[in-house]
A and B are shown apart, each in its own frame.
Chain A
Amino acid sequence: MIRYAFTKLWQSALTLLLASIVVFIGVRMLPGDPARAMAGEDASPEQLAAMREQLGLNASLPHQFLTYLGNLLSGDLGNSTRTGTPVVEMIAATLPVTLWLSAYAIAIAVIVGVLFGVIAERFRGRWPEWFTNGFALIGLSVPNFWLGILAILYLAVSLGWFPASGYVDILSDPLKGLYYLTLPAIILGTSLAAVIMRQTRASMIETMSTDYVRTAKAKGLSGGRVLLRYGLRNSLIVVVTIVGLQLGGLISGAVVTERIFALPGFGKLTLDAVFTRDYPVIEAVVLIITLSYIVINLAVDVLYSVINPRIRIGGSN
């Protein structure tokens, strides 16, 4: 177990290092001169040179990379070239919005997905299965930003059930905050719910037809107990994996959801940075997304081995 966790940890660290190199090189391949962007269009050559020196752009690339890595480890992500604010502050202001939104969306997706998956398995060949299958198919086929636009059009504006846009800090006003995030979270969670539903259904069908479930039933365990103890436990593994795998999609989805509902989150920060060529912010945003992705996948792997003992022993086979 410990050894397994260590292997995973080492692999993740390596991935992170490689990813940061990719980001570093990628950002330096961007067109445009950050020194000029900082100093302004009408800066004199001397000012420009001073700015280059100040930004450390004159050092060799490996040297720049090491400096960058050092700063990174000490929590210094530089300042935005657009506003001059420390990037760390900008991230601290926007990240919570996205984290709340994602957590809320994942919660909705897991509840709806598992519930529908179980319903689909319990009612095979009858209308509830058709209904849940239809839901999954639509969830996978309909782009969530279109759903978002329709939701604003009909649920928010015509029916007035939800606010069409805006954000209230959850910590200062939990109820109102959740209320404002509900529609965006539903929209963001739909496709994830569809994937979870399908996988839960498939894994339930597989588990419920295994010998040990038959034995459990023969022993006289009630259907509900069998479902909880065997069926759901196994599909839990699936759900954990799916959430880990779908994280990339969730992040992309969050960016566009924030755009549609005008939420002041990480996605908005990302898009603003890209369209204004704010190097330090782009760099930080990409790195943080990558970091969180790797860390969460590491957590998924470890969690996975806790739920499913076969994996921590089996390894690649």
Chain B
Amino acid sequence: MTMTKSPPRDKSLTSEAMGIGSGRGRLWRSLRGNRLGMVGGVLMALVVLLAILAPVIAPYGPAEVHFDTPFQKPGTVGFLLGTDDLGRDILSRLLFGMRASLEVGALCVLLSIVVGAPLGLLAGYWKWLDAFISRLTDVTLAFPFLIIAVGLAAISGPSLQNAAIALGIAHIPTMIRVVRGETLRIKESDFVLGAKTMDASGLRIVFTHVLPNAASSIIVQATVIMPVAVIGEALLSFLGLGIQPPTPSLGIMLSDAQQYMFRSPTAAIVPGVGIAMICLAFNLFGDALRDAFDPTATSRK
């Protein structure tokens, strides 16, 4: 990580000077000591791996229909989780659906960081920009993500990209606020003052001193956004405003399954478990990460 390379950190406040061992070492120890967090980390790795390997490990194509074997029960030979109304393999659709979920989630997180972090830095560092950017975030916040998605879907049709953009736009304001708050805090510290006395330009200070120190908050915020985005994608696809068939999505699987859920409850249960697994993984790991970055965080025992 680049954040550990930036030289001008306040040495008197680092963990080395306080005799707690290196920052990264403490981070790792704290993470490892957090059992739930480790479970989350492992689960997260598993989920990501399954999603990446979906085309390799899925027994069938996600849209491959088997008209002669609809509504197979879970455990049937050849169909581990059974089949849906069109005889499509639920396990394969689950794997590809998780892949789509993570894709949208990752795009959304990326968008919120790429747009939100610089705006947050600017708003936090320069007071005259703050009023303008804060108003901008207020306006954006006034539109719930569903409304943004509704607008985008109406303008250019529902799609995976539009779902990701809508979710990304909706999460930019929170990213701006987090980074702005961090910037306000960091710019008061001695090393920024030091850099200022050495005539470093504002932009230079922001990017070489403030940004690396705000990185941990950005990463934590990313783990907060990820599960919300995954649920958001499923919700949009469920309503028909997100991913369009035949691309598999956990939300589409759910809305399909709702029509025949009394006949085949598994078809409705499996996609929900998939969403919950992804979210649980990121929530658990994110919590552990937050605690590790901030030893004074209240959620620590």
Contacts and interface: CB of A to CB of B under 8 A. Distances in A.
Given A149-B272, A282-B150, A11 B135 contact: yes
Nearest to B238: A145
A15 interface: yes
Contacts of B139: 15, 18-19, 22
Interface stretch (B27-35, B90-98, B274-282): B274-282
Interface string A190-221: 00000000000110011000000000000000
Interface string B43-69: 000000000000000000000000000
A260 B147 CA distance: 18
Interface string B271-301: 1100110011001100000000000001101
Contacts of A314: none
Contacts of A91: none
A188 B68 CA distance: 39
Given A30-B154, A31-B155, A248 B272 contact: no
Contacts of B154: 30-31, 274, 277, 282
A211 to B, nearest CB: 16
A152 B257 CA distance: 13
B273 to A, nearest CB: 9
A185 interface: no
A18 B268 contact: no
Given A137-B284, A141-B276, A286-B147, A15 B235 contact: no
A183 to B, nearest CB: 15
A115 B299 CA distance: 17
Of the four ranges (under 10, 10 to 19, 20 to 34, 35 or more), the interface on chain B belongs to 35 or more
B142 A137 contact: no
A149 B142 contact: no
Contacts, number: 127
A59 interface: no
Given A22-B139, A26-B155, A124-B301, A256 B272 contact: no
A201 B144 CA distance: 27
A190 B98 CA distance: 23
Interface string B197-224: 0000000000000000000000000000
A89 to B, nearest CB: 22
A256 B235 contact: yes
B299 A202 contact: yes
A153 interface: yes
Chief secondary structure at chain A's binding surface = helix
A140 B284 contact: no
A143 B239 CA distance: 13
A251 B271 CA distance: 23
A14 interface: yes
A67 B268 CA distance: 48
Contacts of A275: 240
Contacts of A18: 135, 139
Interface in A123-146: 124-125, 137-138, 140-143, 145-146
Interface stretch (A168-176, A288-296, A303-311): A288-296
Interface in B170-184: 170
A150 B151 contact: no
Contacts of A26: 151, 155
B283 A140 contact: yes
Interface in A30-77: 30-31
B145 A252 contact: yes
Contact of A143 (B142, B155, B272, B299): B272
B135 A149 contact: no
B163 to A, nearest CB: 13
Interface string A276-288: 0100001000100
B105 interface: no
A94 to B, nearest CB: 16
Contact of A270 (B145, B150, B235, B269): B150
B238 to A, nearest CB: 6
A255 B146 contact: yes
Contact of A11 (B138, B155, B235, B257): B138
A271 interface: yes
Interface string A1-39: 000000000010011101100100010011100000000
A178 B231 CA distance: 28
B143 interface: yes
Contacts of B146: 251-252, 255
A153 B284 contact: no
A290 B146 CA distance: 12
B13 to A, nearest CB: 21
A140 B230 CA distance: 12
B252 to A, nearest CB: 12
B21 interface: no
A145 B299 CA distance: 29
Interface of B: 135, 138-139, 141-147, 150-151, 153-156, 170, 227, 231-232, 234-235, 238-241, 254, 257-258, 261-262, 265, 268-269, 271-272, 275-276, 279-280, 283-284, 298-299, 301
Given A143-B279, A256-B235, A289-B144, 20 more contacts: A15-B138, A15-B142, A16-B142, A19-B142, A22-B139, A137-B284, A142-B272, A142-B279, A143-B272, A145-B234, A146-B276, A152-B261, A153-B261, A153-B268, A202-B298, A251-B147, A256-B238, A274-B150, A286-B151, A290-B147
Top 4 closest pairs, chain A to chain B, by CB: A146-B272, A248-B144, A141-B279, A252-B146
14 contacts: A15-B135, A15-B138, A29-B155, A140-B227, A142-B272, A143-B276, A149-B258, A153-B262, A202-B299, A248-B143, A260-B258, A270-B150, A274-B241, A289-B143
